[in-house]
Structure 1
Amino acid sequence: MDELRGDRAVWNFDGEAVSIRFLTGMFKDDMLKELGRCTVPVAAVAAVDFELSDSKRKRWALRLRMHERTDPYTAVGAMLSEGSQPFQLVGPAKSELVAEYLADQIRFGAGRAAEEGARSERGSPGPHLATRLVPPLPLHIQTAEGTAAFDGSTVRLIWSGSSAGSRKKKAHRREYALADITGVEWVPSDGWEYGHLRLNTTEEVRPEVTKPKNDMACLLCDEGKEGAQTLMMAATITAHLWTRDQGTKGQLEA
């Protein structure tokens, strides 16, 4: 098994999947620390980028680019910082040869998986692979406003925290079936205002759209750990939405 250590994680590749263990510590990224581990099947990888820095501080960067509707973190975290990218690894020049070799091996494995998919008439990999890149269910997170929980079929929002407004505290909780959710938004805190997780829903169950602090489809989040956890929740729900949509499409085609 090939192993590569970078600034944020340790990658291991066995020919079939890249196992990623994110490093913990005071100066490590909050989202990656919360995620902890992740396994990326080569079938999910569309391309592998490898490049060297032109700066005086010689570094390399290795990045996995996923097939469409396979990377839920990028889908919901368009505002992710460079250091929060879970499928990018950066390291020092002394390990350049190992990093470039591993990039070639992953690229070869991804190409082989694509060829096998084409021969079996599966075509592009299904979005079910996205659920392998997110935390296992059930998933539960907590912010200063309350909690969010997802068990694969229902998202439950409970407002019981110190930051919850009177309207949400009075309502106390709302539940949304996955079948009624059309998408998820994640907006990080800017340091002055709260960020939030918002569920977009069908018209039948859509609450009044208002400011996040009063929106019954929103959970507010602060910086740091809270922002990281709400991003993980948004990515996890999105991954399961993709799988649901693919299943519905398959039933219609049948």
Structure 2
Amino acid sequence: MDELQGKTATWRFDEEKVVIQYSSRWRNHALLKALARCEVPLPAIAAVEFNSVAKKGWQLQLRLRERTDPYAVVGPLLPEKGQPFLLAGGPDTELLAEYYADQLRIGADAARLGDGPRPPHEYALAIVPPVPLHIQTSEGRAMFDGQMFRLEWSDDASSRKSKKRRMDYALADIQRVEWFPQRSLDEGYLRVVTWQEDDDAKSAKPRKDFACLLTEDSAKQDAWTLVMAATVTAHLWAAEHSGSPQPANAAQLTADTRSVYDRIRELGRLHEEGLLTDEEFTSKKTELLNRL
């Protein structure tokens, strides 16, 4: 396999996939350290972008096909240093990196053409960690086995949650999973949105919401809740294509969800081009998600 080493990871690739081994050094973003390793099938890649950064080196980024990258749709846009499919390096390896970018682009184009009608969600399942997946935060645990999602709270949770102890959600009952990282004094959380969510659930504060698992004072907890949200999302995409039973209004809701995600991706592009500030992007994205 060809190999390209950058500041945050090492990429190894052949005619089938890109294997990304993330560095465990302490300065690396918590998400990359949580993932440790990731495989991206070449047919999942929509584009390969290479940019030279004057006097600073280079950046190589994989843009994945629609409904293939669950990390990009479950919450706010990740900072550059936390994007799992972006690699940067110094000026001394720029020519090598540009050469490999061309090779990856050629390989990805050929793989897509030869892949036939395979649905993108299959690649999403390859990109996220295997199930069963268990994560721990200061408030409790989340567990997912591919069909059932469970939130379980510890004695450190609010009295409302600690008395309830746990909530189970069948995959067929989940519309989406949201992720919100910690911001300033606000707690971060993972949140399950069901097809039948009522107004009381929408108005509940995260600390008292039975659909939420909080994170507190820990980038590591934020990273693992993002990994969990992305993993459940990948399985939701797969369930849509498998013919799994859904509520009567699910077809329309799914169409609405896709429309929202398409608009969020467009906002992300405008944000990356500097046409939207961080605050404008977050505000507009939250507004779109609240319409679901």
TM-score (norm 2): 0.80
Equivalence for 1:227: 222
Alpha-carbon spacing, 1:116–1:207, altered in 2? closer, same or farther (3 Å)? farther
Does the 8 Å contact 2:187/2:214 carry over to 1?
A: yes
From 77, 80, 94, the equivalent of 2:78 is: 80
Equivalence for 2:174: 181
| Cα displacement string for residues 107-139 of structure 1 (whole angstroms, at most 9, x for unaligned residues) | 11111122223xx4x1x7431110111111110
SS in 1 for 2:243: helix
Between the aligned partners of 1:159 and 1:5, the Cα distance in structure 2 is: 41
Task: Answer 1 or 2: which has greater strand percent.
Answer: 1
Structure 1 runs of 4+ with >4 Å offset: 204-207
Does the 8 Å contact 1:200/1:206 carry over to 2?
A: no
With 200-209 and 60-69 compared, the bigger mean Cα shift is at 200-209
Does the 8 Å contact 2:182/2:188 carry over to 1?
A: yes
Does the 8 Å contact 2:76/2:180 carry over to 1?
A: no
Q: How does 1:230-241 map onto structure 2 within 5 Å?
A: 230-241=225-236
State, as a whole percentage, how many aligned pairs show the same letter: 49
Between the aligned partners of 1:206 and 1:109, the Cα distance in structure 2 is: 49
Between the aligned partners of 1:106 and 1:26, the Cα distance in structure 2 is: 29
| Cα displacement string for residues 222-247 of structure 1 (whole angstroms, at most 9, x for unaligned residues) | 23110000000000000111111122
Shift of 1:205: 8.6
Does the 8 Å contact 2:43/2:112 carry over to 1?
A: yes
Does the 8 Å contact 2:141/2:152 carry over to 1?
A: yes
Between the aligned partners of 1:135 and 1:52, the Cα distance in structure 2 is: 32
Shift of 1:73: 0.6
Does the 8 Å contact 2:44/2:112 carry over to 1?
A: no
Does the 8 Å contact 1:143/1:161 carry over to 2?
A: no
| Ranges in structure 2 where 5+ consecutive residues have no aligned partner | 245-250, 252-292
Alpha-carbon spacing, 1:207–1:245, altered in 2? closer, same or farther (3 Å)? farther
TM-score (norm 1): 0.91
From 130, 149, 153, the equivalent of 2:124 is: 130
Task: Answer 1 or 2: which has greater helix percent.
Answer: 2
Between the aligned partners of 1:40 and 1:102, the Cα distance in structure 2 is: 16
| Ranges in structure 1 where 5+ consecutive residues have no aligned partner | none
Q: How many residues in Structure 1 have an aligned counterpart in Structure 2?
A: 243
How much is the aligned-residue C-alpha RMSD, in angstroms? Answer: 1.8
* Matching of residue 152 in structure 1 with residue 146 in structure 2: yes
Does the 8 Å contact 2:122/2:238 carry over to 1?
A: yes
Equivalence for 1:141: 135
* Matching of residue 34 in structure 1 with residue 28 in structure 2: no
From 176, 192, 197, the equivalent of 2:190 is: 197
